[in-house]
Chains A and B, each alone.
Chain A
Amino acid sequence: MTMTSAGSSPARPAAGPRLAAENLGVGYGNRLVLDGLDVTIPTGELTVIVGPNACGKSTLLRALARMLPARHGGVRLDGRPIEEYPPKEVARRLGLLPQSPSAPDGITVADLVARGRYPHQGIFSQWSRADEIAIADAMSRAGVAELTDRCVTELSGGQRQRVWIALALAQQAPILLLDEPTTYLDIAHQIEVLELARDLQRDGFTVVMVLHELQLAFRYATHLIVMRQGAIVVQGDPAEIVTAELIEEVYGLACRIIADPETGRPLVIPRAARGARP
């Protein structure tokens, strides 16, 4: 696909693809994890990337957030190669929540969320009314407003994850990339985080997540990207693309797909192993 955007076009086109990779090759050391991958992240959708372990899904997410340099090809943000932007400018358009961020000892929720304002601040404008409004807005969206003065280290896993999402929201970037945001959370907190992601998408954010849990991915994704061995197998609405054959092909798991009685979304039911003991 081609990208047309001149330097004179508005910084944030309302429609059209904003984040895309073309012929992307990235890797660690001598090994290329992704080689010649093309993908367009649909604007305004909740995109979920799934695939077996080591299929390159986190690598793709991190490359989209310019955390990994491209060996060939590259990532385009709003029509321009992402590495052409100053780092703070990228941060104003695209927020990333990595897998395991660390909170300094004794930092409060408000203080942590405020760090998300870094890309909007300069040497002489370290604190403005806009910062205060953005932080209050981010905390209320993420549902952590009542935790303001609590210490981050004493929060539960689910609360902590929502605080980190609040930090990313304080960045006020229209695109949010979340790398396995539900890891280490119990089922209730996983749902809580995913409901938050869906609310954000409905409020106009473009959200991209890497998830392990297929049930949850199918339930919440409006756009699903299925990867295997560094390549995209298929992408689209989970209700249209998920079949038993696909799961078998990608994960090597014999299964049935039924409609989730609660939502009608696809649900993976693994087959009982042949010869299994009763």
Chain B
Amino acid sequence: MTATTPARSRWASLRVGHAALRLERRCLWIGTAGIAASLALAVAALLIGDYPLSPVQAMQALLGTGDDPLATFFVQRQRAPRMLAAWLVGAALAVSGSLFQSVSRNPLGSPDVIGFTTGAATGALVQIVVFDAGPVAVAIGALLGGAGTAALVYLLAWRNGLTGTRLVLVGIGVAVCLQAVNNLLVLRTSLGTAQSAASWLAGSFNATTWDETRLLALAMTALVPAALLLARPLGTLMLGDELAAGLGIRPDRVRTLVVVVSVALVSVATAAAGPIAFVALAAPQIARRLTGTASVGVGTAALTGGALVQASDLVAQRLFAPTQLAVGVVTGTLGGLYLIWLLTREWRRNTR
């Protein structure tokens, strides 16, 4: 593999045989920083807890060579799957958000704004409240709810093709209706069920095991490459349908595929950890501002989302330990504050 670096170029190209990729240099840096941050947070997540460990102890526990059964249990059964799930959920939400924001050409066109997360929650709540179901059934309910809502929004917004604004407006309408249904479901049930429903609604990794993490990882190995493949035609689609069609893209087909992939991503993530607020909206915007690019950054968005949820989960676990916060509360706060800071800095710079 060789990296050619022509003088004064913003681009770095990677060539492996006949395969060639071109990446913006800044994206490469941000990507490397994102991977480093994710790894650092992963290590921190293994060490920090009610049962603090040294790096050596944690490593031994992870490899199963340690002589402390409690450490092995905490690391292998709780901290490792939780840390991985947090990263995967964050990445899935961020990728889904970046795809949706590009296809609707609107930062508000995020799955949490246009009803898909709310719909997934409806599916899960029906399982919890009506059928008193277990975790697996709740996850399936969330998947079906998300997909059903997406189909509904898509059908209502479709008229000789799909436009971004119509998708966002119809989505917001559907989201409001479903939110009312969700409230009704929680209000009409017993106190105990309402409590477990509310804790699911806040989104958390408190009960995450390897089972969910494995399923999540499996789904994402199929969905993330699909998202990466769609990013290029999607970036070209932002030049307008006609120009994109002139370049050999089938706009409606690309849009449909994008919607399918991102709905699958957000549903899988919500099924695994509940509706985690704001990541799908904020992570792609944060990534875009960090890299300074105009196009869809699926990779950088994934790293940003992963690191954001990892950091949020650490804060949620430790801020008021032993009381654990819902991770959704923290993502909203951390991501929101950071995005506001980035935006105000950008506006100040532009108006100067």
Contacts and interface: CB of A to CB of B under 8 A. Distances in A.
Given A98-B240, A115-B236, A126 B248 contact: no
A105 interface: yes
A123 B22 contact: no
Contact of B240 (A92, A102, A108): A102
B239 A125 contact: no
Interface stretch (A74-82, A83-91, A245-253): A83-91
A116 B247 contact: yes
Interface residues of B, number: 27
A127 B13 contact: yes
Contact of B239 (A101, A119, A128, A171): A101
Interface in B62-108: none
Interface string B97-133: 0000000000000000000000000000000000000
A149 B246 contact: no
B247 to A, nearest CB: 5
Interface residues of A, number: 39
Interface of B: 10, 13, 18-22, 229, 232-233, 235-236, 238-240, 242-243, 245-250, 292-295
Given A65-B246, A101-B240, A104-B238, A128 B20 contact: yes
26 contacts: A62-B242, A67-B246, A87-B245, A87-B248, A87-B249, A88-B248, A91-B246, A91-B247, A95-B246, A96-B243, A98-B242, A100-B240, A102-B239, A103-B239, A104-B238, A104-B239, A106-B294, A112-B239, A115-B247, A118-B249, A119-B248, A124-B18, A125-B19, A126-B232, A128-B20, A167-B243
Contacts of B232: 118, 121, 126
A67 B20 contact: no
Contact of B21 (A67, A107, A126, A167): A126
Nearest to A152: B294
Given A104-B295, A118-B247, A149-B10, A127 B242 contact: no
A98 B292 contact: no
A107 B247 contact: no
The 3 closest A-B pairs by CB, nearest first: A127-B22, A88-B248, A96-B246
Nearest to A121: B232
Contact of B20 (A87, A127, A171): A127
B292 A106 contact: yes
B248 A115 contact: no
A125 B235 contact: no
Nearest to B245: A67
A226 to B, nearest CB: 25
Given A115-B236, A127-B22, A87 B294 contact: no
Given A87-B249, A106-B293, A125-B19, 4 more contacts: A62-B242, A102-B239, A115-B235, A124-B20
